[in-house]
Amino acid sequence: MLVAMMSSRLGRLIPRGLFLLAYFLSMVLGLVLSRFDRGVAVVWFAGAVLFVQFVLSPRRRWLGLILGAVPCGALAIACFGLGAAVALPLAVIGVIEAWGAAFVVKRVYPRFGRLQSIDEVVRFLGVAGLLLPAASGVPAAWFVHFATGLPYDQAWRDWFAAHALGFIAFSPPLLLARQGEAIKWMRSASPDQKREAAILLGIVALVTTITFGQKVFPLVLLPVIAMVAATLRLGRFGAMASVMILIAIGLVGTSAGYGPTTFVHVGTWLRFEVLQGYFASVVVLLLPLSAELAARRRLLERVQAAEALHRLIIERSSDVIMRVKVDGKVIFASPSVARLWGYLPEDVVGRSVFEIIHPRDAPRVRASRHAVMESKDAVAVIEYRTLCRDGRELWVEGSTRAVLDHLGRVSGTLTIIRDISERHAMVDTLARQAMTDPLTGLANRRAFDQDLARGLATGQSGCLALFDLDHFKRINDLYGHTTGDRVIQVFAEVLRQSVRGGDNAVRLGGEEFAVLLFGARIADARQICERILQRFAARENHPSVDTVLRATVSAGLAPFEPGTSPEAVMTAADTALYHAKNSGRNRLAVAA
């Protein structure tokens, strides 16, 4: 167990030790190779190395990084830089600068690290390329001034330029390389993509070598063109690889006295500062470009996935999905039109949607569609009839909303159409049941009240006949309710057979019935009522094998004119009915 603990501890210490060694060597490299005129190092790798390590490490390890990096930095500055007198404060400032850049970038962009969006790149450039180098240069310039005698403002400018350009030029490729961007790309790329990458990056290396391997022509744009092409084709991997090729060849060529900086007739320090500015400009150009390309690829993938999902939903959905232009022409119809109406999608596309809508319902659909296109954000749900290919009428429910173009203008509507014929049939059945007497199949009291009120409200005249079975309670008592129900059914049959085609025969309840005779004169109504009484009296009922039952009915008849209230009509007919009952039953009485 002790061996395992020591192995685990050693496994954590070795990577830390290797990083601190890399940090120390990056400082030494910058101080030895680019500290001209005994001033600030112009090519500063170390800040980017430490910044990337902070970004990739969890915050609980930041303190350990700081405590390890400070002595490494102090040792490098003391041995290869400005001397022991300023080594510790400059090392502390450099470490705090890298830590502060990582801390602030993580605060303003918590998911920083992939450089996949322009927003992420801009925040990195603002924090690591401007804010932190400018802030750290304020105290650092004092120590540089103390150690070298440079004027404070020049020391600040040198520090800011070296550190800002170092962060911008070296951090992005180092960050992506540390995250295995190249390895991931190589694993996911096809053989054709790898061949294309080799050709493009070979061209980048070739033109960069030509640019920095001679001092006859200032070909500064030539590598940029090749790197942009590599970025467009290869994405972030192409941008990262191109920048690393540029930095490696550019530093070697410039150190050897070649390249575009030879056309700048200034000192060596300023030539390397110009070179770093060139590197940083390329990074600032390629990073947003690669980020935008990555964002567009992700967007395209999401659009393609959404399109595939929508296509699957449309093909599997039993509802019809229909796109219609402003003028009513169908531009898309899902395959469900075949199941719903018997048409193929191509039969519907190009036709007016109103050709398959019932003419009586078309005005309502037009008004609903117009309202949706006016409000833009509203959704209209409406039920209407449609015409099938075989001539059938089909009830549907359409949910419609407006479709907007890229300028926000209404370009048409999108409608989801659902078959509600079964539901509509069920509603009709329930409505009929609600208006029908279950024992006789005649209309019930609710239907009677509605018909009478509607007829009087529309100015119709006619007669109302009320019927009441004579001695019905005695029939139930002597022969049972089954026989009583049969007597009621027989009378209902007599009513159906005796009234005119447009008359409304109704069971009001119990043994009471009514007939609404719209448009009938009193003489015609009397004749109908007499016929009903005679036919019912002649009908025989057989409660048992050896028993014959004959029942009778009394009737009251009352005429009505337009403007009469339903209550008045009912009262008049009811009074006449009671008069018939009191006069001996099995007779008709007419209201006075």
Would you state the pLDDT for residue 289? 83
Q: pLDDT tens across 124-158, in order?
A: 989 998 999 999 999 999 999 998 888 998 889 88
Least-confidence region, from 9-23, 489-503, 550-564 = 9-23
Q: Does 81 score more than 90 pLDDT?
A: no
Q: Does 52 score more than 90 pLDDT?
A: yes
N- to C-terminal Cα separation, the chain: 117
Average pLDDT taken over every residue of the chain: 87
Query: 46, 76, 16, 62: which is closest to 136 by C-alpha?
Result: 46
Would you state the pLDDT for residue 542? 59
| Strand 504-509 relative to strand 462-469, pairing | unpaired
- Which residue ranges form the domains of the chain, and what is each CATH number? 14-179 (1.10.1760), 180-313 (no CATH), 317-425 (3.30.450.20), 435-590 (3.30.70.270)
Residue 63 has which token pair?
């303190």
Quote the percentage of the chain above a pLDDT of 90: 42
| Strand 462-469 relative to strand 512-518, pairing | antiparallel
3-class state of residue 45 by DSSP: coil
Residue 217 has which token pair?
């022509």
Q: pLDDT tens across 439-454, in order?
A: 998 999 999 999 999 9
570 pLDDT tier (thresholds 50, 70, 90):
very high
Q: pLDDT tens across 233-242, in order?
A: 888 888 888 9
Would you state the pLDDT for residue 8? 53
Q: What is 47-81 written as a DSSP string?
A: HHHHHHHHHHS-GGGHHHHHHHHHHHHHHHHHHHS
Q: pLDDT tens across 364-409, in order?
A: 999 999 998 988 788 889 999 999 998 898 999 999 999 888 788 8
Q: What are phi and psi of 168, to 5 degrees?
A: -70, -45
Would you state the pLDDT for residue 406? 79
Q: CB burial class (10 A; 0-12, 13-18, 19+) of residue 390? A: exposed
pTM for the structure as a whole: 0.55
Highest-scoring range by mean pLDDT, 30-34, 106-110, 404-408: 106-110
Beta carbons of 395 and 367 less than 8 angstroms apart: no
37 pLDDT tier (thresholds 50, 70, 90):
low
Residue 24 has which token pair?
């120390």
For residues 86-103, average pLDDT: 94
Q: Does 577 score more than 70 pLDDT?
A: yes
In whole angstroms, how large is the CA radius of gyration of the chain?
48
Would you state the pLDDT for residue 220? 87
For residues 157-179, average pLDDT: 86
Would you state the pLDDT for residue 150? 86
Q: pLDDT tens across 302-316, in order?
A: 888 877 777 777 777
Would you state the pLDDT for residue 219? 86
32 pLDDT tier (thresholds 50, 70, 90):
confident
Q: pLDDT tens across 259-287, in order?
A: 888 887 777 767 877 887 888 888 888 87
Instruction: Give the number of other Cβ atoms within 10 Å of residue 392's Cβ.
Output: 12
Beta carbons of 170 and 184 less than 8 angstroms apart: no
- CA distance readout (Å), 482 to 38, 58, 437, 520, 538: 123, 89, 17, 35, 20
Query: 493, 475, 494, 490: which is closest to 547 by C-alpha?
Result: 475
| DSSP category for residue 458 | T
Residue 79 has which token pair?
């041995």
User: How far is Cα 428 from Cα 432, in angstroms, rounded to an integer?
Assistant: 6
Q: What is 368-389 written as a DSSP string?
A: HHHHHHHHSS-EEEEEEEEE-T
Higher pLDDT pick, 540 / 501:
501
Would you state the pLDDT for residue 568? 93
Residue 465 pairs in a beta bridge with: 515, 557
Would you state the pLDDT for residue 543? 62
Would you state the pLDDT for residue 36? 66
Rounding to the nearest 10 degrees, give the CA dihedral for residues 154, 160, 166, 168.
Answer: -140
Q: What is the amino acid identity at position 214?
A: Q
Give how far the C-alpha of residue 346 lies from the chain's centroid of Cα atoms, to the nearest Å: 28
| Strand 553-560 relative to strand 588-590, pairing | parallel
Would you state the pLDDT for residue 2? 47
